[in-house]
Amino acid sequence: MSYSNLATSVNATLDAHGKYPAKPGKAFRKWDGTTPYAIHPIWCAMTVLAETALPEEQRLLGYQTLLFHDILEDTTYVLQTSPEVRALVEAMTFDSSDHEMVEVWNRSEEVRLFKLYDKVSNLLDATWMDSSKWNRYCEYTLRLAADVEKRWSGLNIVTIARAIAQPRSEKA
C-alpha cells in the first residue's frame, strides 16, 4: 500500500457517491442537502493521514478504509479494493446506528479506531440532530474515544472528539 493511488481512490469515492447513490438524497449531506456526500469520507481519510502518532501502515490502511466506508451501504458502486480494505469496510457497515452502537464493541480495534473518525466528522455537521440524538451520539463518540485511547495514545482525533462531543441541554 502506498500514497500513489490516493487521487484514484478519492476520485472513486467522488464517483461512487456522486454518480451511484443508492437513493438520490444519498448524494448529499443531510445537514444542508447541497454538500456532496463524498466530502465526509474524504475528510475522514485526510484526517487519518494527518495522524502522525499512528504508524504509516495504519494510516495507509485507514485512509482507504475511510474513503470507502460508506460505499457499500449508500451506493450501487462496485467497490474494487484489496481484500484487507474490503474486509474493514464490511466490518464498518451496520444495519442502523442503533445496531452499530451495540455491535461495534464486537469488532476489531481498527474498526473502532476508524469509526471514531466517522463519528467525529458526523458531529461536525450535525446541526440537524435534535438534543436527544446529539447527546446520544456524543456519548457514543466519547466511548469510542476512550476505547481508542487505550490502544493508541496521543491521537488528534481523540482530542477533537472530546472538544466537540459536548452535551446539549434538553429543551422543555
Where residue 122 sits, what CATH number does that domain have? 1.10.3210.10
Q: Is residue 169 part of a domain?
A: no
| Count of structural domains, the chain | 1
Q: Provide the pLDDT for residue 172.
A: 40
> How much is the pTM?
0.93
With respect to residue 125, please indicate whether it lies within any of the assigned structural domains: yes
Report, as an integer, the average pLDDT of 154-163: 98
Mean pLDDT of the chain: 92
**Amino acid (1-letter code) at residue 68:** F
DSSP string over 67-117: HHTTHHHHB-------HHHHHHHHHT--SSHHHHHHHGGGS-HHHHHHHHH
Q: Which 3 state secondary structure label does DSSP give 142? A: helix
In a domain, 149, yes or no: yes
Task: Let me know if residue 31 belongs to a domain.
Answer: yes
Instruction: Provide the pLDDT confidence category of residue 35 given band limits of 50, 70 and 90.
Output: confident
Does residue 172 belong to any structural domain of this protein?
A: no
Give the pLDDT score at 171: 59
Percentage with pLDDT > 90 across the chain: 80
Among 28-42, 62-76, 103-117, 147-161, name the one with the lowest average pLDDT: 28-42
Asked whether the beta carbons of 138 and 116 are under 8 A apart, the reply is no
Domain span at residue 136 reads 3-164
pLDDT for residue 97 = 92
User: How far is the CA of 137 from the CAs of 18, 42, 81, 82, 140, in angstroms?
Assistant: 27, 21, 30, 31, 5
Percent of the chain that is helix, strand, coil (3-state, to 5): 65, 0, 30
Q: Is residue 87 part of a domain?
A: yes
Does 93 map to a domain? yes
Q: Please determine, for residue 164, whether its predicted confidence score (pLDDT) is greater than 60.
A: yes
Judge whether 136 lies within some domain.
yes
- d(C-alpha 91, C-alpha 129), whole Å: 25
pLDDT exceeds 70 at position 1 = no
